[in-house]
């Protein structure tokens, strides 16, 4: 039997298809966002981030430093634009700094 006899796909395409079939694309993107937080906001912000989670398309960011919390409040729109550029519109609609 040759490779043409089998239904072959590129592994990346197969994984994307599986995510779409089982409605996991959003959860995968959320996990990727959380894992790449330091790359998105930089080391100083990431070091002072105590907790980071997503609920109902809202990204909650809990900070250790009151000063960093204040700064991050003003940077929310820019971070949201970066997230939309990286993951597409609709993954995160709002950022709440707590």
pLDDT tens, 28-59? Answer: 778 888 888 999 899 999 999 999 999 999 99
For residue 23, what are the contacts with CB-CB under 8 A and spacing of at least 6?
none
The reported pTM is: 0.76
Instruction: Kindly state whether residue 20 falls inside one of the protein's structural domains.
Output: yes
Question: Domain range for residue 44?
Answer: 10-97
At residue 3, the pLDDT reads 53
Report the domain count for the chain: 1
Token output for 34: 């959380």
Three-state DSSP class for residue 51? strand
At residue 97, the pLDDT reads 94
Q: Could you tell me the CATH number of the domain that includes residue 59?
A: 3.30.300
Instruction: Kindly state whether residue 83 falls inside one of the protein's structural domains.
Output: yes
At residue 52, the pLDDT reads 94
Tens of pLDDT, residue by residue over 6-31, are 677 788 788 778 877 877 777 877 88
Q: Cα–Cα distance between 19 and 25 in angstroms, integer?
A: 5
At residue 6, the pLDDT reads 64
């Amino acid at each position: 039997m040759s490779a043409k006899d089998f239904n072959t796909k590129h592994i990346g395409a197969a994984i994307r298809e599986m995510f779409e079939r089982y409605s996991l694309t959003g959860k995968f993107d959320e996990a990727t966002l959380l894992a790449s937080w330091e790359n998105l906001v930089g080391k100083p912000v990431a070091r002072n981030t105590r907790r980071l989670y997503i609920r109902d398309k809202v990204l909650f960011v809990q900070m250790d430093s009151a000063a960093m919390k204040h700064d991050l409040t003003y940077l929310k729109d820019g971070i949201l634009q970066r997230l939309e550029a990286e993951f597409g519109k609709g993954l995160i609609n709002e950022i709440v700094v707590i």
